[in-house]
Amino acid sequence: MKTVKNRLEFNIMCGEAAVNNAAKQAPEGLVIASRASALAMWQARHVQARLETLYPRTKVTILGMTTRGDRILGTSLAKIGGKGLFVKELEDALARGEADVAVHSMKDVPMSLPPGFTVAAVTERADPRDAFVSRRWATLGALPEGARVGTSSLRRESQLRARHPGLNIAPLRGNVHTRLDKLDAGEFDAVILAAAGLERLGLAERITALLAPEESLPAVGQGALGLECRDDRPDMAALFARLDHAATAACVAAERAFSRALAGSCNVPLGGFAELAAGRLHLRGFVGAPDGSRLVSGEIEGPAAEPEALGAALAERLRAQGAAEILAALEEPGAVGGA
């Protein structure tokens, strides 16, 4: 991913004339590859609308696809290959020329893209926080001992077990509506979901409480959308660059560098969250054991123009504080277990 310095330099060099030229050279048609879930289609339609506003002479269509990650719901992502299962089929469509761009939740994008692909733009971030959803209890802290809480994330599970050891944390897969249906049917006392997903689907009223980063540090890239295209299509990258939000891109770049340096994946309970103010990035991160028995966390601040260096520095700091031992234990056969 480009650094914020390169993005800002690109925007400055472009100027109004270059923007107008890009609009004139926009193709007659563009195809967006997207997962077929309701949330993914909302995201694709959101990007579609923005592209059609920027390039009114271009017809933008959506290619909805059911990925392997969507088809296999009875097993945790950590056991079947991670969130990259939501991305690969869309990349295959790009490689075959069936689509020009794939729209992803950045939290689903593997930390290292396969050769031939690039993230051309990161959109402005929505609410990055996790949401506590319950029909009976007002806050996470109000749940009684033994209450059953559903989550699909090792990151959330690790933090929940560490901070609320009396809760019964149970796996929960499926799309947002499926998870809410299971809560409504009484299978769970509460579920933890991404606030941005609920808001995008018009379900903000289902949010019982928002969890501060201090209570549940968000996933790397949570709340931001990424536009992926082939790296041999600079014409496409130039079109999509107008949707890039430099501040969000800097934050996500720092978070992804932090995760990448720690070999972050679905198999690693890890969170990272950066905020930008006055040209400075403040990055927080943690690595934990799946059972919550140990969490190593830290924070760092530095120039916004060097997000990757900042992420790598925080990763090294956490390794020195004990993250290396946690990661080594996770590499042992069967370490993730039934997460």
pLDDT band at 267 (very low <50, low <70, confident <90, very high): confident
Instruction: Give the model's pLDDT for residue 152.
Output: 84
Instruction: Give the model's pLDDT for residue 8.
Output: 45
Please say whether the beta carbons of 213 and 171 come within 8 A.
no
- Pick the more confident residue, 214 or 6: 214
Catalytic residue (choose from 108, 127, 130, 244): 108
Instruction: Give the model's pLDDT for residue 21.
Output: 62
CA–CA separation, 27 and 229 (whole Å): 15
Whether the per-residue pLDDT at 339 is higher than 90: the answer is: no
Lowest pLDDT segment from 146-155, 262-271, 277-286: 262-271
Structural domains of the chain sorted by starting position, each given as residue range(s) with its CATH number in brackets: 4-125+224-244 (3.40.190.10), 130-211 (3.40.190.10), 257-330 (3.30.160.40)
pTM score: 0.88
174-209 residue pLDDT tens: 899 999 999 999 999 999 999 999 999 999 999 999
Mean pLDDT, the chain, rounded, equals 88
92-127 residue pLDDT tens: 999 999 999 999 999 999 999 999 999 999 999 999
Characterize the bridge pairing of strands 29-35 and 59-65.
Answer: parallel
Nearest in space to 244 (alpha carbons), one of 265, 256, 232, 229? 229
Instruction: Give the model's pLDDT for residue 20.
Output: 58
Q: Is 108 a catalytic residue?
A: yes
Structure tokens of 231?
């790296």
Characterize the bridge pairing of strands 168-171 and 225-230.
Answer: unpaired
Instruction: Give the model's pLDDT for residue 173.
Output: 83
32-51 residue pLDDT tens: 999 999 999 999 999 999 99
55-104 residue pLDDT tens: 999 999 999 998 765 555 455 444 544 556 678 899 999 999 999 999 99
Instruction: Write b or e for each residue in 121-144: b if 16 or more Cβ atoms lie within 10 A of its Cβ, otherwise e.
Output: bbbebbbbbbbbbbeebeebeebe
Query: What's the rounded mean pLDDT across residues 202-227?
Result: 97
Nearest in space to 280 (alpha carbons), one of 313, 251, 318, 315? 251
Instruction: Give the model's pLDDT for residue 159.
Output: 97
- Pick the more confident residue, 188 or 338: 188
Q: Which element (helix H / strand E) includes 293?
A: none
Helix 246-261 / helix 307-318 crossing angle, nearest 10 deg = 30
